[in-house]
Amino acid sequence: MEQGNSFHKDVQMTNITYELYLRKKYKINVTCFNYKNLNGRCTTMVLFSSIMKNKKLLNFHKFFKQNIIFQTVEISNNEAKLLYFLSQRDNSQPISIEECGESNLTQEEIRSASSWLKMKGMVDLSEVKEVKYELGDEGKIYLENGFPEENLLSLVKDRGEVSIDLVMKIMGDSNARIAIAQISKFGFAPIKGKIRWDADKGEIFKEEIERRRQVLKLIEAGMPLDKLFETTLQNLLKRGDVIYSRKKTRWNLSITEKGREYTKSSPIKLTIGELTPQILLDGSWKTAEFRKYELNLQGKQFNRVGRHPLKYLINEIREIFLQLGFTEMSGNYIESTGWNMDSLFIPQDHPARDMQDTFYIASKNKITFSKDEEKLFKKFGSVQKNGIRGYRGYGVDWHLNESEKLVLRTHTTPNTIRYLSKYKEIEGGYFSVEKVFRHESVDWKHLAEFHQIEGAVHSKDTSLATLKWFLKYFYAQLGFEDIRLVPSYYPYTEPSMDVIVKINGKDVELGGSGIFRPEVLKPLGIKYPVMAWGMGLERLALIYYGLNDLRQLYESDIDWLRNFKIKI
């Protein structure tokens, strides 16, 4: 027995999968059935519907032909009911799933059973797409009272000539406009404000009106439309509330020869799929046959409920920083331009301060700096104008009242400056993932409101090499090995680098980084170097989740929110 079966000893699969395996490997058509050999062992029997040219397979077939007793393929109760219903029909023509109600199964049960029977080769399923037409409110009115164009031309025929003003008065503005537009297509366009009768054109129009009326009657009666009415039908569909079309997909079902053979050779035998209290009480479980569990079936998928994709990614990023010993920072949405701009060596005439780039707060309330803050900002102003200890400034005037203006923060780097100022004597790392606001034109890679991944490391051992290592390490933790670091410029860092990746075949900047300039650190009293970075979260999420547009992250696409994939 084992010798004859050796060619498929390693193949432990269902009949359906086994059929596909043999079709692919041996290039032949096969049909699989369960069988029981003389020793009582159950496995799979292969019947061939084409000439076998494979010697190994032919020997296998001859061996089992002498050693098997056939059994039927296992089917569920609902599959059995549906199969016997189809086999008992006199008409062999396909029947729609909706017409299988006499099988005593619900529509959902019929759909499920038919799908499984199709997989087992016992039924055929065919898709039929139909278009159904229904009368709109205007169509019902036209069928009862006549078309507006019909009524208008009847008026013109009786009078020989009518003015548009009279038509508007008799028919009303809405119907008059519809009627005039329709009769103009048949040569009755108004000339100098009047519509004149023409007998020849009137006959052609009368024939078309009859066709339109016939179309409405057929649709109302639910009758099929002849191809002769196709042009008329399309014209009526363009008129809005006259006719509506609804596309419908219908599935037709028919029993196959394999299904018929099954019903002839195997009496229907219903099995119990669920043990109920009633079965226990009446004792029927003692003689009942229970359906076997199919462990290879895919389980039901439940709608996932969890964190938003962005929130999930934020938590992943937080975990990376916290594991490295960083301290998390937080700040305010509304900042003074002193902290948002001046503390970062951004001159007061810099283009980034313009209203087309920054959201200014329209408020009469004025911020009041503490004495220490005012003293610090004056240091920043002095550095901007005169420079500091060998570093030239911008040579521009600085005004305290300009620093007092309120803005929606354009970046979260003020968080870093505050923490460095507060803990200037302590070496350490800081980070935050918070919202920022920019006056941007929204497109696939720009948003006016987004998150920034902010961070800095204050240490005597900090260098550009350290920064490069950290950026590569950070992105590698999120699964991105292929990033490029290119030289860049920022007013408050030198040297500076941008992180570049390819999205949709284009280079996209994910964020900026660099070593803080002395003009930023010296007014704070910091003597060790500080490496810092600010990276866009949404652009990172674009690659992380395989999206093409940043705006998709904020759309209420329920299907995507339920099924988005995370990197593990």
Per-residue pLDDT, averaged over 461-478, amounts to 92
H helical segments located in 136-292: 137-145, 148-159, 164-171, 173-184, 199-221, 230-237, 257-265, 277-282
For 484-539, how does the pLDDT look when each residue is reduced to its tens digit (9 = 90+)? 899 999 989 999 999 988 776 778 888 899 999 999 998 998 989 999 999 999 98
Could you say which DSSP state residue 460 is in?
T
C-alpha angle 169/174/177, rounded to 5°? Answer: 85
Query: Does residue 375 register a pLDDT over 60?
Result: yes
Query: Does residue 33 register a pLDDT over 80?
Result: no
Question: Residue 7 has which token pair?
Answer: 């060619």
CA 548/CA 565 separation, integer angstroms: 15
Query: Does residue 22 register a pLDDT over 60?
Result: no
Q: How many other CB atoms sit within 10 Å of the CB of residue 392?
A: 10
pLDDT value for 40:
37
- Contact predicate 566/308, CB 8 Å: no
Provide the residue ranges of all domains of the chain, joining segments of one domain with +: 11-51, 137-241, 310-563
For 306-336, how does the pLDDT look when each residue is reduced to its tens digit (9 = 90+)? 788 899 999 999 999 999 999 999 999 999 8
CA 151/CA 171 separation, integer angstroms: 9
Per-residue pLDDT, averaged over 411-421, amounts to 92
Strand, coil or helix: 115: helix
How many Cα neighbours within 13 Å face the side chain of 53?
A: 6
Q: Give the range among 43-52, 149-158, 160-169, 194-203 with minimum mean pLDDT.
A: 43-52
pLDDT value for 10:
34
pTM above 0.75, yes or no: no
Residue with the bigger pLDDT between 30 and 252: it is 252
Can you spell out the DSSP letters for 202-238? HHHHHHHHHHHHHHHHHHHHTPPPPGGGHHHHHHHHT
Question: Residue 410 has which token pair?
Answer: 């354009």
CA 188/CA 181 separation, integer angstroms: 9
CA 378/CA 403 separation, integer angstroms: 10
Strand residue runs (E) in 285-342:
327-328, 334-336
CA 178/CA 172 separation, integer angstroms: 10
Indicate the residue type of 505: G
**Is the CATH code 3.40.50.10380 the one for domain 310-563?**
no
Which contiguous run of DSSP H or E holds residue 390?
Answer: none
Query: Does residue 42 register a pLDDT over 50?
Result: no
For 109-160, how does the pLDDT look when each residue is reduced to its tens digit (9 = 90+)? 888 888 888 888 888 888 888 788 888 888 888 888 888 888 888 888 888 8
Indicate the residue type of 136: G
For 76-122, how does the pLDDT look when each residue is reduced to its tens digit (9 = 90+)? 778 888 888 888 776 667 887 777 766 678 888 888 888 888 888 88
pLDDT value for 395:
80
